[in-house]
């Protein structure tokens, strides 16, 4: 007995759509088809989300936060190949210099990009990508959970705030803030949870027929919460349908799912009345063993991320000047290779900011060096920049949110981390 419909999809069961056998004419009309579903569907949309597309949204700016869960190895993604200690410190994980077989893609004569990240390299050359190195949140221990928690709640210690900083950010937009946020995930991740309602969308699902949902909407009529959520779900699905979710290439491997998610996300973000602030999560960065160098496990992960960001930039081209994409992870990894050809939880790592108005083409860092004496606790890249300095710059310079509000509501206790100057032009 399987309760959750997600199981059916995962197991590819032929019984995934029990309704289809009950009611032949419903077979092809799923909620994803509601967009073309005629008057009934439109009535459902209108009822669930009053005035959905009538009032203008409070901002045209787009903000996409890509959260890499597991701890990206910053020294693999952005190798400081010209640091005199690099080759020795990284040992068998060191990447070759630019121009050599499997070598890094050069950024500035000192840092390179991992060879699997051609799209990001192109963005850097177009000066649309700023790379930050030796950066970290205020967290100095090594638990994934605590580190992610801190990054998501936007405090200077784990559980230092009860909700996510992006949700508090939406709160700064007043009532209209509830139309801005979306998680490209089935449930809303901590970073986006809080008092302001947000939307969510994930690939898969979608076997409830439109006709059933219309009757359910009648049942929900007396309950404002369920009514609103169903309306949002149908609207966001319609948007995803319009955005081509069902026709996108892509199967069920995590890689294909990410490409499908990002493709749909981009199209939704482009819509005039679509969401503005999005969270996309990518797992699989916890490379304790057999990490690989120019090829291998981590290279595949980076290639997937690079393809995703490439797709995002292509699809968002018409609004690229209004868009900023931030890529962050909870911590970096150890400098030295461990006993299982991987790396362990570390401290300093990389973050990236991309967008049409980003002052890109730079690696921004106060480079601490890789000699043993220069490392944090003798093992990790020493952090010299607080991730919140980057976030505050994006929120202030791109979203035009007042610094005082950011420091008071969004990222409290962050006054020590002053915003990066002139990150957005």
Of 120 and 192, nearer to other proteins (C-beta) is: 192
Applying CB under 8 A, among 66, 76, 233, 381 the residue interacting with other proteins is 233
Contact (Cβ atoms closer than 8 angstroms) between residue 169 and residue 326: no
Please spell the DSSP secondary structure of 322-380, one letter per residue.
GEEEEEEES--BBSS--TTSS--B-S-EEEEEE-TTB--SEEE-----SSGGGSBTTTB
The DSSP 8-state label assigned to residue 196 in this structure reads S
Q: What tokens were used for 111?
A: 């840092």
> Which range of residues in 51-59, 157-165, 350-358, 411-419 is near other proteins by CB under 8 A?
157-165
Instruction: Confirm or reject binding of residue 19 to other proteins (CB under 8 A).
Output: yes
Instruction: Confirm or reject binding of residue 222 to other proteins (CB under 8 A).
Output: yes
Task: Look at residues 105, 107, 161 and name the one whose alpha carbon lies nearest to residue 130.
Answer: 107
Instruction: Confirm or reject binding of residue 31 to other proteins (CB under 8 A).
Output: yes
Applying CB under 8 A, among 44, 113, 166, 230 the residue interacting with other proteins is 230
Q: Where are the alpha helices (DSSP H) in 49-107?
A: 74-77, 86-90
Shortest reach from residue 122's CB to other proteins, in Å: 33
Applying CB under 8 A, among 207, 281, 286, 405 the residue interacting with other proteins is 207
Of 149 and 255, nearer to other proteins (C-beta) is: 149
Applying CB under 8 A, among 190, 324, 352, 391 the residue interacting with other proteins is 190
Contact (Cβ atoms closer than 8 angstroms) between residue 138 and residue 371: no
- H or E segment and range at residue 184: none
Rounded to the nearest angstrom, the gap between the alpha carbon of residue 1 and the centroid of all alpha carbons in its chain is 34
Instruction: Confirm or reject binding of residue 18 to other proteins (CB under 8 A).
Output: yes
Task: Look at residues 208, 294, 264 and name the one whose alpha carbon lies nearest to residue 18.
Answer: 208
Instruction: Confirm or reject binding of residue 159 to other proteins (CB under 8 A).
Output: yes
Shortest reach from residue 157's CB to other proteins, in Å: 9
Applying CB under 8 A, among 137, 156, 193, 287 the residue interacting with other proteins is 193
Strands 349-354 and 362-364, bridge-based pairing: unpaired
Residues forming contacts to other proteins in the complex (CB under 8 A) are: 1-8, 18-19, 22-23, 31, 143, 145, 149, 158-159, 162, 183, 185-188, 190, 193-195, 197-202, 205-208, 212-213, 215-216, 218-223, 225-226, 229-230, 232-233, 236-237, 288-289, 338-341
């Amino acid at each position: 007995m399987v309760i959750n419909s997600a199981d059916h999809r995962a197991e590819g069961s032929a019984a995934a759509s029990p309704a289809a056998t009950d009611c032949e004419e419903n077979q092809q009309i799923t909620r994803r088809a509601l967009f073309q579903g005629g008057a009934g569907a439109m009535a459902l949309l209108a009822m669930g989300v009053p005035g959905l597309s009538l009032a203008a949204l409070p901002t045209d700016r787009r903000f996409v936060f890509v959260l890499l869960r597991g701890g990206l190895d910053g020294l693999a993604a952005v190798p400081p190949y010209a640091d005199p200690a690099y080759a020795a410190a990284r040992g068998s994980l060191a990447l070759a210099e630019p121009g050599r077989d499997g070598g890094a893609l050069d950024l500035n004569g000192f840092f390179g990009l991992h060879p699997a990240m051609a799209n990001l390299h192109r963005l850097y050359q177009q000066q649309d990508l700023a790379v930050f190195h030796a950066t970290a949140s205020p967290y100095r221990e090594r638990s994934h959970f605590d580190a992610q928690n801190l990054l998501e709640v936007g405090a200077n210690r784990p559980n230092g705030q009860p909700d996510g900083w992006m949700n508090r950010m939406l709160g700064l937009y007043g009532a209209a803030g509830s139309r801005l946020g979306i998680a490209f995930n089935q449930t809303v991740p901590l970073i986006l949870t809080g008092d302001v309602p947000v939307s969510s969308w994930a690939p898969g699902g979608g076997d409830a027929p439109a006709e059933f949902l219309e009757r359910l909407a009648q049942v929900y009529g007396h309950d404002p919460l369920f009514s609103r959520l169903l309306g949002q779900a149908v609207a966001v699905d319609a948007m995803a349908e319009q955005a081509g979710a069902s026709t996108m290439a892509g199967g069920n491997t995590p890689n294909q799912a990410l490409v499908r998610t990002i493709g749909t996300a981009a199209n939704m973000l482009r819509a005039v009345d679509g969401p503005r602030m999005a969270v996309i999560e990518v797992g699989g960065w916890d490379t304790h063993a057999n990490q690989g160098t120019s090829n291998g496990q981590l290279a595949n992960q980076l290639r997937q991320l690079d393809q995703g960001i490439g797709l995002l930039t292509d699809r968002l081209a018409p609004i690229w000047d209004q868009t900023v994409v931030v890529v962050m992870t909870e911590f970096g990894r150890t400098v030295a290779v461990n006993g299982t050809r991987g790396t362990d939880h570390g401290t300093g790592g990389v973050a990236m900011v991309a967008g049409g108005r980003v002052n890109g083409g730079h690696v921004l860092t106060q480079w601490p060096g890789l000699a043993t004496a220069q490392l944090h606790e003798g093992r990790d890249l020493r952090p010299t920049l607080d991730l919140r300095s980057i976030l505050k710059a994006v929120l202030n310079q791109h979203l035009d949110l007042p610094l005082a509000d950011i420091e008071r509501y969004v990222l409290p206790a962050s006054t020590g981390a002053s915003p990066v100057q002139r990150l957005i032009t």
